[in-house]
């Protein structure tokens, strides 16, 4: 675990330098405002500490991070952590539900496809998977928004309705659920497509193994052979994928969020990068890095649990 | 016989007139708590109370602190909560009383005295006092407070001075008379001392953070027509009617009519459009090319798309005349007014209006938009598209088209330059392509190379290494607020910023006109000075303005009191109302 700290540090140094070396800074837009004088712009630069040398800025930021202070957003003049917190739950909610849906659908379908290889249902599912994998989220997101607009069955983007605050708790839950349908479908279909292919390939591989033959030979029911022996062995690589997906919980839906107006971290970060709102970008990078590391850690623990042959010393 | 009929008629007419006059002269409306409320007279109808008005915005507010707020996503919210001593009439652009009910000017134009309206209260019930006004001024001039108002209230490097006369009156003093003083002081929002005093005492940096978007809504206390009810990041801002507002309609009803004002935050214009078409919002500022399509959908969508006036902004082409940025021979061409005029004739503004703005733009010949009805000079020299004329002018200036079809200057240099703009701005990119074709017809070798916005700004304001740029600036009503652009010493004097001494005669002239206009109190005389400045710019063409794009607001038919104002603003929040209040 400890070797991860230099890696995180490296990431932050690189990002900091790249952001700062690219031309322009947060004040570019203000510079073109006819009523703002040069002196005012200079004062703002000093206020933000942007007039300091690069290494001073970085070290100052780093020491604050260690103390848990992620700094202030230039654009919003509020703590970066407040900005992140105000949107964190929304992104997590969307991604976790999409994750659950994807795994709940993807794994059984993958098993079905592997045990019915080359049947008409397998072929059909393969076709769906290829279409799912190759459709970018922004496209399917826009398409579904358009369907929602034409039919009026679902809300057009966003997360809650206008009168959300006036609803009782079950009304609130229902309202958010309605808004979740489109993004969860988009993210879910993409993930299901990938998972199905993975699960199918792994399971086919395992079903060819000798111990499966042995199991069948000793007269076990096919259901037990598949579910108890084959799937248990085929799932290992998927647990690694699961770890990556956990790491992407905060960033995986960024593009989709921007397309459908889901008030999550994606929009915030994209906006910050475009505007060069330095500490928001850096803060979200750190948080993203940490979740990736945590996701991998959880995957490793799960692997050890699922496969007794794996041991960490 | 005839006289006998006429006489009674006259009597009747006279009586009716007298009655009408008596009615119109009847005592102005009062409110129990506010003896002299402002009567809003622009609205055509007396509205109905209740209802929600929903608009969309493509970005979140960045702060609720009106002194710090810069961009429209923030000022759109703070504008409904906070107010200035005076305000601008949305139809005419004239200055009217606001929190100050009246004002006087000293004969020398150097002292302005404002009288505060009586009985106005902050939304938490605390009375508005002169101390709040003094506090707001102090905030603007505190070191480290991030505001552009300080630049407006600093006249020729000297901050304005002020003095509290008594509990209701404040006097402002300037060294020189300032003609635009009313408009300048209107930019100062009055903020509550009892809420923000502690923060300002801790310094500018702390003040910038107060009333941020993380503030609990009930802490945000204004005098304006709405009260902040909630802000959900990335989703919506909800404002509720201020029941103690200080404006009334013609019948003395307390405004605003609306109960709720909601700003939905949407990710992009496409989403804003869908939300409007799905009847989730009441207003959509359509893009020019959408006008025809929206016109067709009017009935089905229960809305009206209005043929609005021009905006104040305009895209323009500017050549670099700064010796630190470009060297001869390019510098020589760019500094040559004959060259610039010739090229101005070669710009096909009709095609730009047709192709970029679907015909919804008027040709622009000078720096002030046609939409600025107060100060636009309609008699400027014009440069209608005429390639022949352009070629003739170039020939007179010594430029010749060689046998290979390329234009050469008198020394035989091939005339070539790079036009840049910020990549991603589709309007500017389209204009750039049209202009490149136009100039190519003259035999000029033009490269059109859009680049990132940040890079472009860096060149314009930092390194000055650029040749020609297509860009636009925001504009206000009063041209002197653009002094950063037009004064030869200005940091945004695009073609040669921060000159120690004006490089040309005509720049001396513009500097002088701006100085005189700043000091001129009589609006008609100021208009004359503005007309002259526009003429100098149109004659010397340091910037080639393309078109003034029109606005086309689409408004739901359920809304009452729609009357288009400057820049296509559909109406005033004070008097807008829902005719059918089906929505709570």
CATH code, B478: 3.10.105.10
Greatest mean pLDDT among A125-139, A185-199, B407-421:
B407-421
Q: Are residues B461 and B488 both part of a single domain?
A: yes
Residue B263: pLDDT above 90? yes
Measured between alpha carbons, how far is A299 from B142 in angstroms, rounded to an integer? 54
Measured between alpha carbons, how far is A261 from A159 in angstroms, rounded to an integer? 8
How far is A274 from chain B, CA to nearest CA, in Å?
Answer: 10
Higher pLDDT among residues B126 and A46, named by residue: B126
Q: B510, B536 in Cβ contact below 8 A? A: yes
pLDDT of residue B357: 95
Q: Name the closest residue on chain A to residue B184, using Cα atoms.
A: A35
Domain count, chain B: 2
pLDDT of residue B584: 44
Measured between alpha carbons, how far is B397 from B333 in angstroms, rounded to an integer? 10
Average pLDDT, chain B: 92
Q: Name the closest residue on chain B to residue A156, using Cα atoms.
A: B275
pLDDT of residue A229: 84
Residue with tokens 């690189």: A14
User: Which of B7, B147, B179 is closest to B69 using CA atoms?
Assistant: B147
Arithmetic mean of pLDDT, B454-461: 90
pLDDT of residue B22: 46
Query: Which tens digit of pLDDT belongs to each residue from A132-172?
Result: 888 888 899 999 999 999 998 899 889 999 889 889 999 99
Residue B17: pLDDT above 70? no
A82 near B CB under 8 A: yes
A152 near B CB under 8 A: yes
Q: Do B59 and A271 touch (CB under 8 A)?
A: yes
Give chain B positions within 8 Å (CB) of A276.
454
Q: Are residues B281 and B413 both part of a single domain?
A: no
Q: How confident is the model at residue A129 (pLDDT cuts 50, 70, 90)?
A: confident
Q: Do B266 and A149 touch (CB under 8 A)?
A: no
Arithmetic mean of pLDDT, B484-502: 93
Give chain B positions within 8 Å (CB) of A22.
454
Cα–Cα distances in Å, from B89 out to B96, B98, B113, B444, B572?
7, 10, 21, 47, 10
Residue of B59, B62, B148 with shortest CB distance to A36: B148
Is this complex's ipTM strictly greater than 0.85? yes
User: Which of B574, B523, B522, B520 is closest to B98 using CA atoms?
Assistant: B574
Q: How confident is the model at residue A2 (pLDDT cuts 50, 70, 90)?
A: low
How far is B578 from chain A, CA to nearest CA, in Å?
Answer: 17
Quick one: CA dihedral B23, B27, B32, B36, positive or negative? Answer: positive
**φ, ψ dihedrals at B319, nearest 5°:** -100, 145
pLDDT of residue B65: 96
Burial of B27-39, coded b for 16+ CB within 10 Å and e otherwise, reads eebebeebebbbe
B329 within a domain of the structure (yes/no): yes
Q: Are residues B256 and B318 both part of a single domain?
A: no
B298 within a domain of the structure (yes/no): no
Give chain B positions within 8 Å (CB) of A34.
473-476, 481-485, 492
pLDDT of residue B23: 47
Q: Are residues B446 and B566 both part of a single domain?
A: no
Burial of B356-392, coded b for 16+ CB within 10 Å and e otherwise, reads bbbebbbbbbbbbbbbbebbbbeebeebebeeeebbe
Sorted by sequence, the CB contacts under 8 Å of residue A290 that are 6+ apart come out as A8
Give chain B positions within 8 Å (CB) of A264.
234
Q: Do B457 and A24 touch (CB under 8 A)?
A: yes
pLDDT of residue B26: 59
Give the Cβ contact number of residue B561 at 10 Å: 21
Share of chain B above pLDDT 70, in %: 95
Q: Are residues B275 and B321 both part of a single domain?
A: no
Q: Are residues B100 and B168 both part of a single domain?
A: yes
How far is B263 from chain A, CA to nearest CA, in Å?
Answer: 10
B583 within a domain of the structure (yes/no): no
Residue of A78, A259, A267 with shortest CB distance to B213: A78
Q: Are residues B134 and B230 both part of a single domain?
A: yes
Give chain A positions within 8 Å (CB) of B514.
none
B218 within a domain of the structure (yes/no): yes
Residue B10: pLDDT above 80? no
Arithmetic mean of pLDDT, B49-60: 94
A3 near B CB under 8 A: no
Q: Name the closest residue on chain A to residue B234, using Cα atoms.
A: A263
Give chain B positions within 8 Å (CB) of A36.
148, 151, 484
pLDDT of residue A1: 61
Sorted by sequence, the CB contacts under 8 Å of residue B428 that are 6+ apart come out as B315, B421, B422, B450, B470, B471, B472
Q: B474, B70 in Cβ contact below 8 A? A: no
pLDDT of residue B14: 52
Q: Name the closest residue on chain B to residue A257, using Cα atoms.
A: B267
A162 near B CB under 8 A: yes
Start-to-end CA distance of chain A, whole Å, equals 12
Give chain B positions within 8 Å (CB) of A179.
none
A274 near B CB under 8 A: no
Query: Which of B52, B233, B497 best tests the A interface by mutation, with the highest count of A CBs <10 A?
Result: B233
Q: Are residues B249 and B371 both part of a single domain?
A: no
Q: A264, A87 in Cβ contact below 8 A? A: yes
Q: B188, B90 in Cβ contact below 8 A? A: no
pLDDT of residue B582: 54
Residue A312: pLDDT above 80? no
Q: Are residues B239 and B167 both part of a single domain?
A: yes
Cα–Cα distances in Å, from B326 out to A226, A281, B70?
76, 36, 33
A44 near B CB under 8 A: yes
Q: Are residues B189 and B93 both part of a single domain?
A: yes
Q: Do A157 and B482 touch (CB under 8 A)?
A: no
Q: A-B interface: how many C-beta pairs under 8 angstroms? A: 154
Q: Which domain holds residue B232?
A: 17-285+553-578
**Angle separating helix axes B193-201 and B130-140, nearest 10 degrees:** 30
Question: What CATH number is given to the structural domain containing B132?
Answer: 3.40.190.10
Q: Are residues B337 and B280 both part of a single domain?
A: no
Residue with tokens 């750190």: A286
Residue of A30, A86, A149 with shortest CB distance to B274: A149
Over its C-alpha atoms, chain B yields an Rg (Å, rounded) of 27
Over its C-alpha atoms, chain A yields an Rg (Å, rounded) of 24
B292 within a domain of the structure (yes/no): no
B445 near A CB under 8 A: no
Question: Across-strand partners of A219?
Answer: none
B177 within a domain of the structure (yes/no): yes
B2 within a domain of the structure (yes/no): no
Measured between alpha carbons, how far is A41 from B41 in angstroms, rounded to an integer? 40
Q: Are residues B68 and B175 both part of a single domain?
A: yes
Residue B20: pLDDT above 60? no
Give chain B positions within 8 Å (CB) of A268.
234
Greatest mean pLDDT among A180-194, A282-296, B129-143:
B129-143
Greatest mean pLDDT among A36-45, A132-141, B473-482, B551-560:
B551-560
Q: How confident is the model at residue A65 (pLDDT cuts 50, 70, 90)?
A: confident
Share of chain B above pLDDT 90, in %: 82
How far is B346 from chain A, CA to nearest CA, in Å?
Answer: 28
pLDDT of residue B542: 97
Query: Which tens digit of pLDDT belongs to each residue from B425-434?
Result: 999 999 999 9
Q: Residue B466 is inside which H or E element, if any? A: none
Arithmetic mean of pLDDT, B25-52: 88
B584 within a domain of the structure (yes/no): no
């Amino acid at each position: 675990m400890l070797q991860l700290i230099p890696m995180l540090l490296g990431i932050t140094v690189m990002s900091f330098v790249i952001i700062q070396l690219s031309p322009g800074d947060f004040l570019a837009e203000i510079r073109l405002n006819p009523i703002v004088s040069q002196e005012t712009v200079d004062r703002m630069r000093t206020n933000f500490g942007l007039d300091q040398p690069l290494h001073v800025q970085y070290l100052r930021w780093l020491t604050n991070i260690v103390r848990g202070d992620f700094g202030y957003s230039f654009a919003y003049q509020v703590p970066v952590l407040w900005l992140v917190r105000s949107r964190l739950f929304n992104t997590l909610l969307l991604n976790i539900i999409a994750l659950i849906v994807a795994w709940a659908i993807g794994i059984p379908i993958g098993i079905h496809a592997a045990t019915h290889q080359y049947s008409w249902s397998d072929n059909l599912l393969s076709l769906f998977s290829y279409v799912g994998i190759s459709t970018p989220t922004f496209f399917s997101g826009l398409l579904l928004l358009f369907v929602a607009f034409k039919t009026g069955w679902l809300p057009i983007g966003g997360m809650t309705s206008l009168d959300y605050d006036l609803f009782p708790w079950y009304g609130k839950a229902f309202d958010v659920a309605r808004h979740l349908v489109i993004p969860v479908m988009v993210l879910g279909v993409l993930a299901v497509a990938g998972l199905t292919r993975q699960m199918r390939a792994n399971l086919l591989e395992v079903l060819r193994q000798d111990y499966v033959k042995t199991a069948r030979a000793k007269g076990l029911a096919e259901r037990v052979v598949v579910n108890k022996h084959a799937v248990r062995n085929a799932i290992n690589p998927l647990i690694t994928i699961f770890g990556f997906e956990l790491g992407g919980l905060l960033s995986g839906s960024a593009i989709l969020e921007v397309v459908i107006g889901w008030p999550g971290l994606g929009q915030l970060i994209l906006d910050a990068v475009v505007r060069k709102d330095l500490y928001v970008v850096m803060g979200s990078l750190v948080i993203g890095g940490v979740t990736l590391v945590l996701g991998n850690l959880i995957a490793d623990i799960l692997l050890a649990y699922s496969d007794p042959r794996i041991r960490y010393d | 016989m005839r006289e006998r009929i006429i006489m009674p008629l006259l009597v009747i007419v006279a009586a009716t007139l007298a009655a009408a006059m008596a009615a119109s002269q009847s005592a102005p409306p009062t409110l129990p708590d506010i003896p002299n409320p402002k009567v809003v007279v622009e609205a055509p109808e007396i509205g109905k109370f209740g209802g929600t008005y929903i608009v969309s915005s493509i970005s979140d507010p960045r702060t609720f602190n009106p002194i710090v707020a810069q961009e429209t996503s923030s000022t759109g919210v703070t504008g409904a909560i906070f107010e200035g001593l005076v305000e601008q009439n949305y139809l005419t652009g004239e200055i009217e009383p606001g929190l100050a009910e009246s004002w006087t000017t000293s004969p020398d134009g150097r002292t302005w005295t404002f009288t505060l309206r009586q009985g106005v209260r902050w939304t938490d019930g605390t009375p508005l006092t002169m101390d709040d006004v003094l506090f707001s001024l102090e905030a603007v001039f505190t070191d480290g407070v991030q505001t552009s108002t300080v630049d407006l209230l600093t006249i020729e490097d000297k901050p304005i001075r002020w003095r509290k006369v008594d509990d209701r009156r404040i006097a402002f003093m300037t060294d020189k008379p300032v003609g635009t003083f009313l408009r300048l002081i209107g930019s100062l929002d009055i903020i509550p001392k009892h809420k923000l005093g502690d923060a300002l005492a801790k310094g500018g940096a702390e003040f910038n953070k107060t009333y941020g978007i993380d503030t609990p809504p009930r802490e945000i206390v204004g005098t304006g027509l709405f009260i902040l009810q909630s802000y959900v990041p990335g989703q919506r801002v909800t404002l509720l009617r201020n029941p103690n507002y200080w404006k009334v309609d013609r019948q003395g009803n307390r405004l605003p009519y609306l109960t709720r004002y909601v700003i939905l935050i949407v990710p992009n214009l496409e989403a804003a459009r869908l939300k409007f078409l799905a009847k989730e919002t009441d207003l959509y500022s359509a893009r020019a090319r959408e006008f025809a399509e929206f016109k067709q959908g009017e009935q089905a969508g229960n809305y009206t798309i209005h043929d609005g006036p021009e905006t104040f902004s305009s895209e323009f082409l500017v050549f670099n005349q700064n010796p630190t940025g470009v060297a001869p021979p390019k510098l020589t061409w760019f500094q040559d007014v004959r060259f610039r005029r010739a090229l101005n004739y070669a710009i096909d503004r009709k095609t730009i209006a047709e192709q970029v703005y679907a015909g919804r733009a008027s040709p622009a010949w000078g720096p002030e938009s046609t939409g600025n009805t107060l100060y636009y000079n309609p008699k400027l020299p014009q440069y209608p598209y005429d390639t022949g004329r352009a070629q003739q002018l170039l020939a007179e200036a010594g430029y010749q088209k060689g046998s290979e079809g390329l234009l050469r200057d008198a020394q035989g240099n091939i005339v070539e330059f790079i036009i840049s703009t910020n990549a991603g701005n589709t309007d500017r990119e389209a204009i750039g392509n049209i202009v490149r074709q136009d100039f190519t017809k003259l035999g000029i070798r033009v490269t059109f190379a859009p680049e990132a916005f940040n890079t472009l700004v860096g060149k314009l304001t930092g390194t000055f290494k650029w040749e020609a740029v297509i860009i636009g600036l925001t504009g206000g009503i009063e041209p002197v607020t653009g002094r950063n652009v037009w004064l030869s010493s200005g940091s945004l004097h695009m073609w040669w910023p921060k000159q120690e001494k004006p490089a040309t005669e005509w720049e001396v002239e513009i500097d002088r006109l701006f100085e005189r206009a700043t000091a001129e109190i009589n609006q008609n005389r100021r208009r004359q000075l503005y007309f002259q400045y526009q003429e100098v710019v149109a004659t010397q063409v340091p910037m080639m303005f393309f078109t003034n794009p029109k606005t086309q607001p689409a408004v739901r038919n359920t809304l009452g009191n729609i009357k288009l104002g400057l820049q296509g603003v559909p109406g005033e929040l004070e008097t807008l109302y829902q005719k059918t209040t089906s929505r709570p």
